[in-house]
Amino acid sequence: MSGEAAVLTPQLVEAAPPEKLHFLMVEDNPVDVELVQRELRRAEFDFTSVAVQTPEDFICELRAHCPTIVLADYNLPQWSGMEALDILRREKLDTPLILISGALGEVNAVECLKQGATDYVLKGALARLPVAIRRALEERRLHEQRNRAEEALARHVEELRRSNAELEQFAYVASHDLQEPLRMVASYAELLAERYKGKLDDRADMYIKYAVEGARRMQTLIHDLLAYARVTSAARPLQPIDSSVVLADVIQQLRAAIEGSQAEIKSEAMPMVSADEGQLRQVFQNLIANAIKFHGDGPPHVEIRAESTEKMWNFAVADDGIGIPEESGRRLFQMFQRLHTREEYEGSGIGLAISKRIVERHGGSIWFDSVPGKGTTFHFTIPKNGGGK
| CB contact burial 215-250 (16+ within 10 A = b; e otherwise) | beeebebbebbbbbbbbbeebeebeebebbebbeeb
Mean per-residue pLDDT, 290-309? 89
Closest CA to 319 of 382, 249, 265: 265
Confidence of residue 194 (pLDDT cuts 50, 70, 90): confident
Residue 17 pLDDT more than 70? no
* Cα–Cα distance measured from residue 284 to residue 317, given in angstroms and rounded to the nearest whole number: 8
Q: Give the integer Cα–Cα distance in Å for 333 and 352.
A: 5
- Which of the pair, 38 or 223, is modelled with greater confidence? 38
Whether 342 has a pLDDT exceeding 60, the answer reads no
State the sign of the Cα–Cα–Cα–Cα dihedral 39, 42, 47, 48: positive
- DSSP annotation of 66: -
What percent of the chain lies above the pLDDT cut of 90? Answer: 39
Check residue 247 and give its pLDDT: 95
**For residues 143-166, average pLDDT:** 85
3-state DSSP assignment of residue 52: strand
Residue pair 132/119 in contact by the 8 Å Cβ criterion = yes
**Lowest mean pLDDT, pick from 192-201, 226-235, 299-308, 331-340:** 331-340
pLDDT at 6: 40
CA distance 206 to 68: 82
Counting every residue written for the chain, the total comes to: 389
Say if strands 272-275 and 239-242 run parallel, antiparallel, or are unpaired.
antiparallel
Q: How far is CA 253 from the centre of its chain?
A: 35
Q: What is the mean pLDDT of the chain?
A: 83
**Alpha helical stretches, state H, the chain:** 30-42, 55-64, 81-90, 106-115, 129-196, 202-233, 243-253, 255-261, 277-293, 351-361
Choose the weakest-confidence range: 3-7, 174-178, 289-293. Answer: 3-7
